[in-house]
Amino acid sequence: MDFSSLKRQLNDEWLVMVKPHLHDKELYQKVKDIDGIISDFKEMDLAQILPSVDCLITDYSSIPFEYSLANPNGKMVFFCYDYEEYKKEVGIEEGFQYWAPGKIVKKQNELVSAIQAPSEEGFETFNQMWNEYAHGSAREQLLKWVKNVYDN
């Protein structure tokens, strides 16, 4: 991905934030000095960032599961430029192209169009499929379970 070009194509309509995986020092070095791209989050974790992200761009990461819960009105775009190769080499969950909660694109111009397009779907079906037991009350459920186990 050419991040400088992406920022130019999106103009000032979008604030571009790039938060590479902690182990991806190469990507961080690539984006840290690009004018108009935020890449320093002062040790903020994803739970603090995701609720304010209007459009999540990801690949095969697990972040869609967290994002769909943290920002139920958000939008996702899957930038999978290496889809066929990744499918052969690593493997992709069966039916990904059908249940992914956002458009799957392979080229940067498709990515820009998908970002700028109105959101087409919500996360209800995705969350029913993948986040069935996530109701936002994990702490209370755990405490209830512990109390039940140790009181009996």
- Measured CA to CA, the distance from residue 136 to residue 113 in angstroms comes to 33
**DSSP-H helix ranges across 20-107:** 25-31, 46-49, 63-70, 83-89, 96-99
Check residues 139 and 106 and name the one with the higher pLDDT. 106
Of residues 50 and 119, more confidently modeled: 50
Report the C-alpha gap between 97 and 63 in whole angstroms: 17
Q: Is the pLDDT of residue 12 over 80?
A: yes
Query: How much is the pLDDT for 140?
Result: 82
Higher-scoring residue by pLDDT: 152, 123: 123
Residue 25 near residue 55 (C-beta atoms within 8 A):
no
Is residue 90 over pLDDT 70?
A: yes
DSSP string for 2-44: -HHHHHHHHTTTS-EE----TT-HHHHHHHTTSTTEE---TT-
More confident residue, 103 or 46: 103
User: Looking up tokens 């990515």, which residue turns up?
Assistant: 111
Q: Tell me how long the chain is.
A: 152
Quick check: 105 and 78 in contact, CB under 8 A? yes
Per-residue pLDDT tens over the stretch 60-88: 888 999 999 899 889 999 999 999 999 99
pLDDT attached to residue 41? 83
State how far the Cα of 133 lies from the Cα of 124, in Å rounded to an integer: 13
Q: What are the sequence ranges of the domains in the chain?
A: 45-151
Residue with tokens 């999978």: 80
pLDDT at 136: 66
Per-residue pLDDT of 97-138, as tens digits, reads 888 999 999 999 999 999 999 887 788 888 888 877 776 667
Q: What is the pLDDT of residue 102?
A: 92
Which residue type occupies 105?
V
The rounded mean pLDDT for the chain is 88
Report d(CA 113, CA 35) in Å as an integer: 22
